[in-house]
Structure 1
Amino acid sequence: MRFVNYLFLGILLCFSSLGQDTTQIIQAGRINSKSQQSKPYVILISADGFRSDFSIKYGAKFLQSRTALGVKADAMIPSYPTLTFPNHYSIVTGLYPAHHGLVDNRYFDVNSGNEYSMGNKKMVAEGKWYGGTPLWVLAEQQGMLSASFYWVASEADIQGIRPSYFYTYNENIPIEQRIQAVKDWLSLPAEKRPHMITFYFPQVDHDAHEYGPEDPRVGDAVKWVDQSIAKLQAALDPLKLPINYVFVSDHGMTAVDTENTLKKPIVLDTTNFKVPSGDALLHVYTKNPAAVPRAIEELRKEKSFQTYLMDETPAHWHYRKADDRFNRLGDILLVPNHPSIFNFSPRKTSPGKHGYDNHHPDMQASFQAWGPAFKKGVTIPAFENVNVYPVIANILGLQVNESLIDGKLKELKPLLK
């Protein structure tokens, strides 16, 4: 069974973690202010790639049981582009990607001349790449401790602040140890106990990429995540704390055409253009503006993808030059028509992908929440993920200047008691 495989994998990873950074990092000297010690707790849980229908489709029994005990959305609309780094950061900042700066998993920063990549461990820990104020930074600024068992940017010194307790991202720590770490955090004395906690699962995304979203192995990953969340709550229930659980995903997943992948158009030569690798979208950065008119003319002859100048992209993406607060969007954007996909690698592309239009049904993410702050048995229509930020801040009693974010408390406040 898949569950046995995951357990075996956990044992192997435990041995292979020798030499990997699996130690907890603690910011010394921090305490909750007196006024924050009586506040509720929020555990924000993300299952990467957990499409909005996966809970029902693959029989996530624990999450299904939470529907009657909390609130659920038909779907959560991810921000564009529907990729991991931009959306995890949108959830915790209440900002669209072009507003917080993580415009892609990989992009060119025009001002510095550097190329950001989610795979560069040194780079992802540098606060200069991240705009906005993540929930853990907001909490720490207001005298409330936070903790993270992984989240995009949780290792970075954003505004000079990291969570009070966190781990450097790796997939080598078994789930039992991760759950125990959260229990240990919440068992600390009140002045040392974190109230804002993030917790991340990569398994569904990994398997949906590798096998495609319809493969039974994705169902096994969904069930494993579901059972792990059940174990997490079972471990924390004896603490008798007012814990609120918010379960989200960053995006959905779709099957793509792996046989007829798109290559980089010939007209985008390296003399005139810089094109970081991508699949469901390509940013084209211009070295020579004089080459743009001819390139646009040639690109628009292609019918397998859409070609946009950056003042022409769909309004619901919030992804135009006017939105580009950090000068990181390309000058031209190429977007394949689903199920087409770009592939610059000589290897065959994986059958599961995301990154497409955020209103595409297969790109829709999940949202559920339960705990003392939430009403019971409430289901709502789809909403944008930037609205998660103000509702979590509200539960924690943190002050937010809504003029500085894209999310609005009024969108989800009806879910609260």
Structure 2
Amino acid sequence: MLWTLISTTVVLQSVLQATSAVSNKVLLVSMDGFRHDYLTKAETPNFDKMVAEGVTMSYLNNTFVTNTFPCHYSMATGLYSESNGIVGNRMYDPELNSFFTMSTTDSAWWDKGEPVWITARKAGLKAGTYFWPGSEAEIQGLRPTVFFPYNTSVPFEDRVNTVLKWLTVDDFDLAVMYFHEPDTSGHAFGPDDGRMVPVIENMDVVLGWLLQGLDNSTLKGKVNMIVTSDHGMTNIDLQNKIIDLSNYVNNTLLHSLVDQGSIAQIRPQPGMDNQLLEALSGIEHMQVMLKENIPERFHLKNNKRVMPLFAIADEGWTITDNVTKARMRKYKGNHGYDNNLETMKPIYIARGPAFKSGKIVRPIESVDIYPLICYLLDIQTAPNNGSLDRAATLLKYYGNAVPQLSSCSHLLWFLVIVLILTCTLLEEHF
């Protein structure tokens, strides 16, 4: 009888431990421009450790346009760019009659999506953000519990120490953090340059600080951590692979380019949409189309901030209306290209009590990260384009396999108590 009691209690305790993963803390980390195959280019013991202890995939299926702000905000909101309104790093809104840059924090630009830190705050949780696009804006009258104005000069180690303090001393439920490498170096050197090796290895050191901080504290085994990125990187050649639209049209047809590079958001002069399209059609290494003809798979065209004409360059090519200005950046690498290209695919690794261990699963989509984090925090999602069923392949338990903690933990302990009382009464009777 005693052995049955012990065995049953152990089983129930195991189920409790499994379900408790659902409501544990979450740490979301983005290393900008970390291409999915960078781990094959350098020695990365800490990434190797996280892969061995967690779950990964060959790459993450990210959203288009494959630039920093659109991809990061899609991860945060679970919405495609046409739904959350962040369609580029630079935008024009015809209703606001104003331009957006990467320093814009006006709430009017961020009002079409609910990022996960706002969802957490609405649920009464503590959520901190360290330099995530959109985190400086007030959204639905709320802000993160703690956030910082973007500042690239803050040392990476300081950022790590702050976030670890949030999760330990300050008892935050959600921490979201961003690093601008290896993106900055990828632009400067190109992804295949040997100088990228120490950059990748330095980001491995940063990951090591996080892993050590989590494993050598009261947080051990209690944090579900996701390390991912917004996009990849490819080689470009600004001397030989550049498309200068000023060679084909002038300001009688072309008003301006709102955004340019791997893509171009093109404003025609009033009433000149079709004439400008005809003038730009047939240019080699570039596809140009009316807004309404943007492929559905890009999830981009149904937004007022997408210009009447849209162009996308072939991989490695650059679109501009000012060659001199374009070459001033001296880039050797860039992104923003078709998100089906493998060079545009980012990394994804997850580790923690809710995740599988030592597994490689099929790629999920970046919009799935939002509902996944909400599930881990046991909070209700806002409307989104993601799929928790798709993301569930990462999880040890999901759906009917193990009930949610909130609905079963008290019941399980009640059963343990009933079992103990039953066994006691039976022993007294016999």
TM-score by length of 1: 0.84
d(CA) in 1 for partners of 2:54, 2:215: 16
Is 1:232 aligned with 2:210? yes
Is 1:214 aligned with 2:192? yes
Of 354, 358, 362, the match for 1:377: 358
Residue identity in the other structure for 1:252: G
Of 263, 268, 279, the match for 2:261: 279
Give 1:414 deviation, angstroms.
Answer: 2.3
d(CA) in 2 for partners of 1:205, 1:231: 20
Within 5 Å, give how 1:265-344 maps onto structure 2.
Answer: 265=246, 266-267=248-249, 269=251, 273-289=255-271, 291-320=272-301, 323-324=302-303, 327-343=304-320, 344=322
Residue identity in the other structure for 1:355: G
Indicate conservation of the 8 Å contact 1:268/1:295, yes or no. no
Residue identity in the other structure for 1:367: Y
Is 1:127 aligned with 2:107? yes
Residue identity in the other structure for 2:201: K
Query: Aligned residues, how many?
Result: 367
Runs of 4+ in 1 over 6 A off after TM superposition: none
Residue identity in the other structure for 2:79: L
Q: Encode CA deviations 1:95-142: one digit per residue, 9 max, x unaligned.
A: 111110110000111111101111xx3x2x222211211010000000
Is 1:416 aligned with 2:395? yes
Give 1:270 deviation, angstroms.
Answer: 6.5
Within 5 Å, give how 1:137-148 maps onto structure 2.
Answer: 137-148=118-129
Counterpart residue number, 2:77: 93
Within 5 Å, give how 1:4-153 maps onto structure 2.
Answer: 39-118=23-102, 121=103, 123=104, 125-130=105-110, 131-153=112-134
Q: Encode CA deviations 1:140-195: one digit per residue, 9 max, x unaligned.
A: 0000010111100111101111111121110222222222212222233xxx5211
Unaligned 5+ segments in structure 1 are 1-35
Indicate conservation of the 8 Å contact 1:282/1:333, yes or no. yes
Counterpart residue number, 1:258: 238
Indicate conservation of the 8 Å contact 2:64/2:300, yes or no. yes
RMSD of aligned Cα (Å): 1.8
Farther off after superposition, 235-244 or 404-413: 235-244
Give 1:339 deviation, angstroms.
Answer: 2.1
Identity %: 30
d(CA) in 1 for partners of 2:294, 2:376: 35
Counterpart residue number, 1:10: none
Farther off after superposition, 107-116 or 238-247: 238-247
Unaligned 5+ segments in structure 2 are 1-19, 397-430
Indicate conservation of the 8 Å contact 1:389/1:407, yes or no. yes
Counterpart residue number, 2:337: 356
Residue identity in the other structure for 2:388: L
SS in 1 for 2:243: coil
d(CA) in 2 for partners of 1:410, 1:392: 13
Farther off after superposition, 354-363 or 298-307: 298-307
Q: Encode CA deviations 1:330-360: one digit per residue, 9 max, x unaligned.
A: 1011111222112435252411000000001
Give 1:377 deviation, angstroms.
Answer: 1.5
Residue identity in the other structure for 1:44: L
d(CA) in 2 for partners of 1:187, 1:365: 29
d(CA) in 2 for partners of 1:96, 1:271: 31
Indicate conservation of the 8 Å contact 2:254/2:276, yes or no. no
SS in 2 for 1:239: coil
d(CA) in 1 for partners of 2:283, 2:176: 43
d(CA) in 1 for partners of 2:195, 2:142: 39
Indicate conservation of the 8 Å contact 2:181/2:203, yes or no. yes
Indicate conservation of the 8 Å contact 2:361/2:393, yes or no. no
Within 5 Å, give how 1:175-214 maps onto structure 2.
Answer: 175-188=156-169, 192-214=170-192
Kindly tell me: are residues 268 and 113 of structure 1, through their superposed partners in 2, closer, same or farther at Cα, counting changes over 3 Å? farther
Of 397, 405, 412, the match for 2:384: 405
Farther off after superposition, 73-82 or 298-307: 298-307
SS in 2 for 1:89: helix
Larger radius of gyration: 2
SS in 2 for 1:262: strand
Is 1:245 aligned with 2:229? no
Kindly tell me: are residues 221 and 101 of structure 1, through their superposed partners in 2, closer, same or farther at Cα, counting changes over 3 Å? same
Residue identity in the other structure for 2:116: L
d(CA) in 1 for partners of 2:168, 2:201: 28
Give 1:413 deviation, angstroms.
Answer: 0.9
Residue identity in the other structure for 1:338: E
Residue identity in the other structure for 1:329: V
